[in-house]
């Protein structure tokens, strides 16, 4: 198997110097049209492809590589973000290196290190819980970084793309309160997670605004995954005074809560931050907070490229809108 052809190989075939090949490949001027044609002919003949690693080694050149760290690419929320980033990156002639931290800060740090060794031009990160001192200027050496979904506290602050968690949650819970519910339970995941905390704040905002006092015993936090959420739901339904509606702070929790209702054959209206298939087919009304995760990725990538282009001055925080929809049977009222 023959060695991959270089510019020198092309140059030899075309009877020109490597520099002229370089000019043709990069559409630089001046090159005589006939020379250009000869070179292009030779390129086609050999199947030459420029070596990006060699190119980007030169000072002043860039790698055309963007790095992404999320908790788990297998999670559709994260992969939608990745897709949005990829869209913009592709349009800008960049490729995306994707990695998954498993939500572990040590692995996150290691991945960022690996990405830096590959000379990424910029980094987009859905930060794990924990300290991010390795997002400091000293560690990053001026690498532009954009945070998505969760803020990260650094000096100076980073460009950030968030959802309107608090407002979306408030809207969804308000729809329950306005239907007459006064005992709305909450099932949340890991209590230290930013998005969950914001959504719970929104729950409280709604109560305050609707002048309903929430019952603290109905607020359940720290549940990982569907199975735990299911138990939380059955526990709530087994209370002497069970809730008449429930707010799930995310998708997975909602699925667990629904499994719990199904198990107890006791259905109460559900509000949930996240949309999901078949929400409209359930035996109880579902109020969903929907958003565009792909768009989050796009916006993050656009912030990143703006900074690479030197267009950004101060770090920006963009908060993306969410929408609320009623799914399933129309009547939200208390049974």
Which range, of 35-43, 211-219, 281-289, 311-319, touches a second copy by CB under 8 A?
281-289
Q: What is the 3-state secondary structure (H, E, C) of 27-94?
A: CCCCCCHHHHHHHHHHHHHHCCCCCHHHHHHCCCCCCCEEEEEECCCCCHHHHHHHHHHHHHHHHCCC
54 touches a second copy (CB under 8 A): yes
Closest CA to 184 of 92, 248, 113: 248
Task: Please name the helix (run of DSSP H) or strand (run of DSSP E) that holds residue 319, with its range, or none.
Answer: strand 317-320
Nearer Cβ to a second copy, position 243 or 256?
Answer: 256
d(CA 274, CA 269): 15
Residue keyed to tokens 């690996």: 114
Nearer Cβ to DNA, position 50 or 266?
Answer: 50
Which range, of 30-38, 158-166, 175-183, 252-260, touches DNA by CB under 7 A?
30-38
Residue keyed to tokens 């950030």: 160
Which range, of 161-169, 186-194, 234-242, 258-266, touches a second copy by CB under 8 A?
258-266
d(CA 206, CA 178): 10
32, 45, 113, 238: which one binds a second copy (CB under 8 A): 113
4 touches a second copy (CB under 8 A): yes
19 touches DNA (CB under 7 A): yes
Residue 313: CB atoms within 10 Å? 8
Shortest separation between residue 36's beta carbon and DNA, angstroms: 7
Shortest separation between residue 212's beta carbon and a second copy, angstroms: 29
Shortest separation between residue 7's beta carbon and DNA, angstroms: 3
Pair 233, 243: CB distance under 8 Å: no
Shortest separation between residue 217's beta carbon and a second copy, angstroms: 27
Binding-residue pattern over the window 45 to 64 for DNA, x denoting contact by CB under 7 A: -----xx--xx-xxxxx---
Residue keyed to tokens 């997002």: 135
What does the binding site for DNA look like in residue numbers (CB under 7 A)?
Answer: 3-4, 6-8, 15-20, 22-23, 25-26, 29-32, 34-36, 50-51, 54-55, 57-61
């Amino acid at each position: 198997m023959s060695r991959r052809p270089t510019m020198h190989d092309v140059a030899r075939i075309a009877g020109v110097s490597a520099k002229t090949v370089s000019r043709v490949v990069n559409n630089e001027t001046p090159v005589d049209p006939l020379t250009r044609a000869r070179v292009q002919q030779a390129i086609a003949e050999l199947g030459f492809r420029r070596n990006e690693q060699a190119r980007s080694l030169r000072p002043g050149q860039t790698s055309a590589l963007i790095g992404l760290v999320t908790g788990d690419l297998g999670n559709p929320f994260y992969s939608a973000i990745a897709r949005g980033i990829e869209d913009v990156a592709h349009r800008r002639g960049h490729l995306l290196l994707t990695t998954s931290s498993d939500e572990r800060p040590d692995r996150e740090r290691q991945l960022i290190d690996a990405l830096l060794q590959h000379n990424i031009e910029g980094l987009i990160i859905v930060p794990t819980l924990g300290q991010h001192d390795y997002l400091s200027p000293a560690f990053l050496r001026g690498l532009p970084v954009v945070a998505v979904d969760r803020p990260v506290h650094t000096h100076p602050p980073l460009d950030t793309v968030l959802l309107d968690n608090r407002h979306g949650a408030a809207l969804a819970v308000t729809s329950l309160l306005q239907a007459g519910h006064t005992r709305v339970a909450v099932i949340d995941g890991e209590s230290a997670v930013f998005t969950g905390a914001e959504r719970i704040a929104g729950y409280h905002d709604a109560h305050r605004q609707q002048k309903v006092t929430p019952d603290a015993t109905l607020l359940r936090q720290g549940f990982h995954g569907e199975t735990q959420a299911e138990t939380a739901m059955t526990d709530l339904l087994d209370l002497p005074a069970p809730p008449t509606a429930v707010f799930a702070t995310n998708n997975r929790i909602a699925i667990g809560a629904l499994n719990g209702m199904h198990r107890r054959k006791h259905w109460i209206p559900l509000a949930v931050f996240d949309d999901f298939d078949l929400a409209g087919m359930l035996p109880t009304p579902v109020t969903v907070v929907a958003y565009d995760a792909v768009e989050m990725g796009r916006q993050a990538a656009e912030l990143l490229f703006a900074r690479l282009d030197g267009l950004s001055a101060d770090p920006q925080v963009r908060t993306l809108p969410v929408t609320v929809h009623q799914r399933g049977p129309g009547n939200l009222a208390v049974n």
